[in-house]
């Protein structure tokens, strides 16, 4: 995980931008690790992401559509609205 940037929007919500490591196999694990880091928790203490998003993230990155699709996956997990773009950039907005 690299390229981290943290800001606050006009509503006072915390926004963190990261980029997933394309050399790692499981992007869902990377997302859980980032959320755990943001919350100061151990990733093992978080609820499983699979039940939240059913492996969609892994499928998108293991067999990605063409770049023209500009695929975006958005979901809520552990109090964060998470937006993942096809290029591996991820935005975490604290909502809870």
Q: Domain segments of the chain: what residues?
A: 2-94
Average pLDDT over residues 83-90: 92
The whole-angstrom separation of Cα 60 and Cα 65 is 7
Q: Is the pLDDT of residue 14 over 90?
A: no
The pTM of this model reads: 0.81
Q: Is the pLDDT of residue 71 over 90?
A: no
**Tell me, what's the pLDDT at 9?**
52
Predicted confidence (pLDDT) per residue in 21-58, tens digit: 988 878 889 999 999 999 999 999 999 887 778 778 88
| pLDDT range class, residue 12, cuts 50, 70, 90 | low
User: Comparing 14 with 33, which gets the higher pLDDT?
Assistant: 33
Taking phi over 0 as left and psi of -120 to 50 as alpha, with beta for the rest, 40 belongs to left
pLDDT for 69 equals: 75
Distances in whole angstroms, Cα of residue 11 to Cα of each of 7, 15, 57:
11, 11, 28
Instruction: Tell me how far apart the alpha carbons of residues 32 and 35 are, in angstroms, rounded to a whole number.
Output: 5
Q: What is the mean pLDDT of the chain?
A: 84
């Amino acid at each position: 995980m690299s390229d981290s940037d943290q800001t606050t929007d006009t509503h006072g919500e915390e926004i963190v931008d990261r980029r997933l490591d394309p050399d790692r196999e499981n992007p869902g694990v990377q997302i859980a690790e980032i959320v755990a880091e943001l919350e100061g928790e151990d990733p093992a203490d978080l609820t499983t992401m699979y039940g939240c998003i059913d492996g969609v993230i892994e499928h998108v990155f293991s067999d990605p559509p063409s770049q023209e699709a500009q695929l975006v996956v958005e979901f809520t997990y552990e109090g964060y609205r998470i937006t993942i773009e096809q290029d591996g950039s991820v935005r975490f907005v604290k909502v809870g």
